[in-house]
Amino acid sequence: MKIGFGEPFVGRAGKLMDMAFQAIGIKREEIYIANIVKCRPPSNRNPEEDECVACLNYLRNQVMLVKPEIIVLLRKCSIKEYLRKRVWDNGFKGKMDREKGN
């Protein structure tokens, strides 16, 4: 595995992901993997929100070009951004506020 060469999920998490895909008969070459951030933050820390936002248009363009049948979101940054745009802004927050009595 090449670590640090711009390929996502190449460390321990990548090996685990490869084993999971292999168990269900999917080869890594059959999938497209993209990260919301395009470079790993210093000390391998989790990306901050402004770093995720800065890279978001690039990721959107990748998704439009690849036209995936299935998108799997991993990690807090991508899930949070997706939910904020798709669920939170589409009435989920208002529903939660009504249920809380706010």
Q: Can you list the pairs that 81-86 forms with residues at least 24 positions away whose Cβ atoms lie under 8 Å?
A: 81/36, 81/52, 81/53, 81/56
Q: What integer is the mean pLDDT of 5-19?
A: 80
- Name residues whose C-beta falls within 8 Å of residue 27's C-beta, 6 or more positions apart in sequence: 21
* pLDDT at residue 99 greater than cutoff 80: no
pLDDT top residue among 46 and 61: 61
User: What local confidence, expressed as pLDDT, does residue 19 receive?
Assistant: 92
